[in-house]
Structure 1
Amino acid sequence: MPNRRILSLWFPRLGAERLIRQDPGLGTAPFATVRDAGNAQVLGALSAAASAAGLYPGQPLRDAHAACADLLTRRANPHREAAFLGVLHRWAAKFSPWVGRKEPDALVIDLTGCAHLFGGEAALLAQVMLDCTDLGLSVSPGIADTYGAAWALARYGGAVAGSHRSGDAVDQEARATRSRAGKRRHWERGGAAPALPPVSTALPETETEAETGQGSKGRGDAVTSHRTGRRTGQRTGHRTGREDDAGRGAAVYPGAGTDAGTGRDARIAPPGKTYGALSALPIAALRLPGETVAQLSRLGLRRIGDLAGQPRASLARRFGTGLVYRLDQAMGAAPEPISPAAPPERFSIRLSLPDPIGLEADLLAALDRMLPPLCDKLRRKGRGARQLRFEAYRADGSMQWLGVGLARASADPERLRPLLAMKVGEVDAGFGIDMLRLDVTVHEPVHARDPVGHAEAGRVVAARLSGQTALDDLMGRLGARLGLEAITRRHPASSHIPEKSALTLAAAWSEPATDWPAPAAPRPLLLWRPEPVQATDHPDPPRRFRWRGRDFTATGLEGPERIAPEWWLEEPDWRSGQRDYWQVETDRGDRLWLYYAYGGALSSGWFCHGSFG
């Protein structure tokens, strides 16, 4: 069985480049997305121009504006970015059917047995880079036997491990101290004693491994592997920008490069030689916490090869078992299961025409051919279309699209066709349409039968006989003209405050209200914001009062109904405290809803809140 090969694709600028694809004007200046971090705002994804200006992810927004005055920012949208990564998930399926997602800006692909279809792993990486360039995306790939190694190569491939301070502490020592330290044997500094090879072959093997950066014995000789990692690290430093061993290495994005000593791609670890590929990388590539990386750097352990030569018991005792476990995962000694993620379901159909069309009748005939197979796909998956997008591609290369929505998800062509037919007249054929596409942008699960018990069976049958489907179709037709958001319905709310006793909901995304609770007293047909009434400031209802510039005489009274404000909420209109409501019939034929406010934080008095008709 061949070695397992894992490809890690990291999109370091995913959030920023997604918005740049929608608005190319954002790419003309330094641009970054902004996210909340506690009570502050920090930078998220950065464009290439923003990185060139010295900005980095996680930088406070005010510091970024101080460093780059022309910085453009937009709010980060994790949900849209996740949906965009789902689109990239479908694209990545061309390289392997096994694609997973473990991070919000990266994909992991199992390439076992697939790379030869593209001419090898190097050719496959070239195809990945070409596709992402065409999409306007920055990508950093890495291929290795394990996910941990592929993750490290994708983010730190070819990186040079730096120090936690401004200068290398070892290089700043006195020469005599460095000279004595170099003469100390490796096992006296805490490492394991090496297994010495035969005398006749010791020198050639050591020289070969040091030159190639690939130990033929894997993790065999600790001294040779340690030296190999340092030499390789000195030769593969092709990354530019900032590098922070304390965990901010993500601010530096590696590009394509090769190992200067071997000529191979630094992002590909040869099969079975994971240690040789990772030994020169900084320890931050092991996915360690920033505090652990900083502590190891202060001890002079800055490369993965430095850790591999240390006693494991001492590392686990001082830094915990997580450090050793991450190292074993990267080297393949500890398992790291990864489950493939199913790509998001997409339902669409395309119709290519031999000759351009432009008549409305031709478009309707095309819909009659496209809707049945599309609805069959939906029914096989138990889904129903909620929103559809109809695209018309013209012969001159341009495209026009229009969308329709349904009040209830459906996979019935007879319910979808009338809505699309209402929109077909808006299509401008131009020089002719040579391709049509129908895409279900929003879909929901539907069931042929609703599982109900005996108590609900009568209600379900009554709802179906009352024409619920006809009401849904009516809302769909009105929504095609006005928009589904413009159609609303009222639902009861659990509040005794008059203006909060009902909620206004979108009719297409809510069920009809069945049971309205009966109020303690009748409510008026019309409600408005309380308006002052000129009357005697006394809780007893006035016989004569003035409202809206007219004088009224009360001929009938009913009440009072006392309503107190909700003390756990801050309502500006209810700062006047509790109210006594009265139904007042006037000599002008009006039946008004008046109340007396007892004051509270405001002055007391009479107000008019509504009318009974």
Structure 2
Amino acid sequence: MLFLWLPRFATDRVTRPGAVCAGGRDRPFALVRETGRAATLHAVNRAAEAAGVFAGLPLTDARAVVPALMARPAAPAADVAALGALATWATRHTPWTTIEGPGDGGAGGIWLDITGCAHLFGGEAALARDLRQRVSGFGFSAVRLGVADTQGAAWAAARFLAEDDDGEPPGVALLPEGAQRQLLMGLPVEALRLPPDVVETLRRLGLRRIADLAALPRAPLTARLGPLVAQRLDHALGRAPEPFTPRPPVVPWRETLAFPEPIGRTEDVTRAIATLCRAFRPRLERADKGARRLLLEMARVDGPLLHRMVGTSRPMRDAGALTRLFRETLDGLDAGFGIEAMTLTLTAVEPFTAKQPAFVRGTGAAPSATPGATGREAEVALLLDRLRARLGAAQVVRPAPRQSHDPDAAVTHAERAPAGAPGTWPATAPRPPRLLAPEPVEVLEEDTPPTRFRWRRRDWRVARAEGPERIAPAWWHGAQPPAPDQARDHWRVEDAAGHRLWLVRDGAARWCVRGVFP
């Protein structure tokens, strides 16, 4: 049995490279949770711990000790999901894995039953070394592993015998077979996975080591503290079996079709694709999901493997529509001496939201209905999917809103709105629908804003003006605050005829036009 322990799993999940708070690893950082009316530290990183704060400390007291402490709300559900994803990834070493935690202090762990698997990696030491190196490469710090005959012994070894940098392999405690009793006797009673109140009671009784417990008669110990202490001791020493319930295996969204005779005609390939797409529909309906990305692999008789991938604008189950998307990619298909097998994999699925077609003709949601409001939307989605299949996903994009105060960064181009993007355009100050590169103007009558100026060979006389709206660079993204001359003041100006411009004065007091309002 192998136990992988991540003492700072919660904070590492947030501060590891590429995560939502990258950079927090080198600065004091903590996750905060609400307990009653006070906010307390749920987990801290190594820098915060070295500065003198710890989990369970009120946030106000921690701020007094470390004024520069970075804090974010704890997300236990996200921690469990991330730990589950890591356990699923760990099935590359063994098919039997499960998670523990995350618990108090933001620590988390993964159980791996490596019975019969260690020899595939060159032994238990080589497997543990490979696992620790890979998990550390994901950005998790202080990774510790314990390998022993029992779950209790592996848990104790990872927490109390494995060191970060000492030992061979480093950060791994390997308990030889049959030697766990001798090695565990000197460990504290906390190594038995006992609740904190039970540990506190044992310490008040003067029982601080596992050896102190092992020397006591069972009957008085059970009468005083209950059966859990003796049970945990027997589990750790291998006197009693401990059940291990692994996570259910992840069933891939994959269907395979083998042919008695190789096929090569486009019609036959299309018919086989339709069969594979229909095979997915019952599974998708049971899971209440729809396909978003599909990968088709075609094995030729002479060896090469042909790939075709399509995507959809929204989750989809319709086998006919999916088949039509693949048909767009079959132009120029070289089947060689024939295709002997085909595999269809759904690389991305999402929750499926069914729509009720209307009873009145012309307003239904089905693409085949007379185009109503919802019908046009469905037809446009299918058209975009066909264009992406034919031209490539990168060639068919649309503008999407992005959270930013800077109008130059408030729009992105993507196939769909990126994760975290607002569903609608944010209600900020009025913006021109199309921005211009700053075009200088010639000021004819000085004022703020100028009452008369020349732009594009035309004299403009301002009748009404609204502003200023000051827009500065995102100072929180840089190590140094922006210079004062980097801020820009914006005015919405209008002439007597109703033409409106977006007028800007930069830090050098130069006036430019950034956009035209309709």
Q: TM-score if structure 2 supplies the norm length?
A: 0.57
* 1:129-168 matches, cutoff 5 A: 129-130=118-119, 138=128, 142-144=148-150, 147-149=151-153, 151-152=155-156
Q: Indicate if the aligned counterparts of 1:11 and 1:137 stay in contact, CA closer than 8 A.
A: no
Structure 2 CA distance for partners of 1:106 and 1:394, relative to 1, 3 Å:
farther
**Inter-partner Cα distance in structure 2 for 1:609 and 1:484:** 29
**Inter-partner Cα distance in structure 1 for 2:402 and 2:282:** 39
Structure 2 CA distance for partners of 1:328 and 1:484, relative to 1, 3 Å:
farther
Q: Indicate if the aligned counterparts of 1:392 and 1:401 stay in contact, CA closer than 8 A.
A: yes
Task: Give 3-state SS (helix, strand or coil) of 1:508's partner.
Answer: coil
**Inter-partner Cα distance in structure 2 for 1:253 and 1:34:** 30
Pick from 533, 545, 566 the counterpart of residue 441 of structure 2: 533
CA deviation vs aligned residue, 1:488-535 (integer Å, no higher than 9, x gap): 24459897x7667x64464535899998799987x6453124333232
For the pair 1:389 / 2:391, whether they are aligned, the reply is no
Task: Give 3-state SS (helix, strand or coil) of 2:439's partner.
Answer: strand
Equivalent position of 1:380 in the other structure: 286
Equivalent position of 1:354 in the other structure: 260
Structure 2 CA distance for partners of 1:105 and 1:420, relative to 1, 3 Å:
farther
Q: Indicate if the aligned counterparts of 2:294 and 2:309 stay in contact, CA closer than 8 A.
A: yes
Gaps of 5+ in 2: 7-16, 28-44, 48-78, 102-107, 132-145, 196-206, 476-481
Identical amino acids, percent of aligned pairs: 25
Q: TM-score if structure 1 supplies the norm length?
A: 0.49
CA deviation vs aligned residue, 1:31-51 (integer Å, no higher than 9, x gap): xx999795439xxxxxxxxxx
- Letter paired with 1:331: D
- Letter paired with 1:582: V
For the pair 1:329 / 2:327, whether they are aligned, the reply is no
Equivalent position of 1:609 in the other structure: 514
Residue range with higher mean Cα deviation, 529-538 or 512-521: 512-521
* Cα shift at 1:468: 1.7
Pick from 560, 566, 581 the counterpart of residue 492 of structure 2: 581
* Cα shift at 1:440: 1.2
Pick from 475, 495, 518 the counterpart of residue 384 of structure 2: 475
Equivalent position of 1:102 in the other structure: 100
Kindly indicate whether structure 1 or structure 2 has the higher relative contact order, using CA contacts under 8 Å at least 6 residues apart.
Answer: 1
Structure 2 CA distance for partners of 1:524 and 1:129, relative to 1, 3 Å:
closer
* Cα shift at 1:360: 3.1
Q: Indicate if the aligned counterparts of 1:278 and 1:304 stay in contact, CA closer than 8 A.
A: no
* Cα shift at 1:470: 0.9
Pick from 542, 550, 560 the counterpart of residue 465 of structure 2: 560
- Letter paired with 1:354: P
**Inter-partner Cα distance in structure 2 for 1:91 and 1:303:** 34
Task: Give 3-state SS (helix, strand or coil) of 2:255's partner.
Answer: strand
**Inter-partner Cα distance in structure 1 for 2:516 and 2:349:** 44
Q: Indicate if the aligned counterparts of 2:98 and 2:110 stay in contact, CA closer than 8 A.
A: no
* Cα shift at 1:449: 4.8
Equivalent position of 1:25 in the other structure: none
* Cα shift at 1:463: 6.9
Q: How many positions carry a matched residue from both structures?
A: 399
**Inter-partner Cα distance in structure 2 for 1:410 and 1:425:** 23
* Cα shift at 1:415: 1.8
Pick from 315, 327, 337 the counterpart of residue 421 of structure 1: 327
**Inter-partner Cα distance in structure 2 for 1:39 and 1:514:** 32
Q: Indicate if the aligned counterparts of 1:479 and 1:486 stay in contact, CA closer than 8 A.
A: yes
* Cα shift at 1:141: 5.7
Task: Give 3-state SS (helix, strand or coil) of 1:423's partner.
Answer: coil
CA deviation vs aligned residue, 1:39-87 (integer Å, no higher than 9, x gap): 439xxxxxxxxxxxxxxxx999xxxxxxxxxxxxxxxxx9999646325
**Inter-partner Cα distance in structure 1 for 2:280 and 2:319:** 9
For the pair 1:593 / 2:501, whether they are aligned, the reply is yes
* Cα shift at 1:401: 3.0
* 1:6-45 matches, cutoff 5 A: 8-10=1-3, 39-40=25-26
**Inter-partner Cα distance in structure 1 for 2:432 and 2:381:** 30
Task: Give 3-state SS (helix, strand or coil) of 2:328's partner.
Answer: helix
CA deviation vs aligned residue, 1:116-171 (integer Å, no higher than 9, x gap): xxxxxxxx92x32245569x955776443xx4245347x59xx9x79x9xxxxxxx
* 1:59-458 matches, cutoff 5 A: 83=85, 85-86=87-88, 88-89=90-91, 100-102=98-100, 106-107=110-111, 125=115, 127-130=116-119, 138=128, 142-144=148-150, 147-149=151-153, 151-152=155-156, 242-243=166-167, 251-252=171-172, 254=174, 258-259=177-178, 276=181, 279=184, 286=192, 304-305=210-211, 308-309=214-215, 329-332=232-235, 341-395=247-301, 398-425=304-331, 429=335, 432-449=338-355
**Inter-partner Cα distance in structure 1 for 2:121 and 2:452:** 80
**Inter-partner Cα distance in structure 2 for 1:468 and 1:488:** 15
Task: Give 3-state SS (helix, strand or coil) of 2:117's partner.
Answer: helix
* Cα shift at 1:358: 4.0
Task: Give 3-state SS (helix, strand or coil) of 1:391's partner.
Answer: strand
**Inter-partner Cα distance in structure 1 for 2:186 and 2:334:** 58
* Cα shift at 1:594: 5.2
Q: Indicate if the aligned counterparts of 1:388 and 1:439 stay in contact, CA closer than 8 A.
A: yes
- Letter paired with 1:488: R
Q: Indicate if the aligned counterparts of 1:562 and 1:581 stay in contact, CA closer than 8 A.
A: yes
**Inter-partner Cα distance in structure 2 for 1:520 and 1:101:** 48
Task: Give 3-state SS (helix, strand or coil) of 1:604's partner.
Answer: coil
Task: Give 3-state SS (helix, strand or coil) of 1:467's partner.
Answer: helix
- Letter paired with 2:26: A
* Cα shift at 1:417: 0.9
